[in-house]
Amino acid sequence: MDTEKKAPIAKRPAWREFLPLVVIVLVVLGVSQAAQHWQAAGQAESLRATTRPGDIVMLSSTDCVFCRRARSWLDAEKIAYSECFIELDAACAALYRAQMAPGTPTFLVKGQRIVGFDKQRILDVIAAPR
């Protein structure tokens, strides 16, 4: 008989079994984020190229976080638009009421109402023939 004792086989920690899965998930998330960034950059470029002064009017509220986000993006991307605040301008408030909009921001893109900040929809309306 063999009296020599064999060394026990070292067991891998449980977390190491999931390491390949974690790496795959992180890679997929990174690729997804990059794709979203490139899509947004493409949308901005298309809007910059096709938008004329007066094409986009944003009806805003002074305390609207979504209005601030839309304004920040439009400004950062240098897209031509005009903005009016429904609490500060009576004509703007009347225009907002006439649109029967449920909230802000409400965009008038070539006269078409878009509620909320939907870059793709704005681009679609801008790109459509008049």
Strand 106-109 versus strand 56-60 pairing type: antiparallel
Structure tokens at 71: 């304004």
- CATH number, domain at 33? 3.40.30.10
Average pLDDT over residues 57-75: 94
Q: Are 74 and 81 in contact (CB under 8 A)?
A: yes
Residue 7 lies in a domain: no
- What is the pTM for the complete model shown? 0.64
Domain holding 91, by residue range, is 15-127
d(CA 109, CA 130): 11
Q: Is the pLDDT of residue 107 over 80?
A: yes
Residue 3 lies in a domain: no
Q: What is the pLDDT of residue 120?
A: 86
The chain-wide mean pLDDT, for the chain, equals 84
Residue 120 lies in a domain: yes
Q: What is the pLDDT of residue 10?
A: 66
d(CA 61, CA 88): 9
**Count of domains observed in the chain:** 1
Q: Are 75 and 67 in contact (CB under 8 A)?
A: no
d(CA 51, CA 55): 6
Q: Encode pLDDT of 1-48 as tens digits.
A: 556 677 666 676 776 777 778 888 888 887 777 666 666 667 778 777
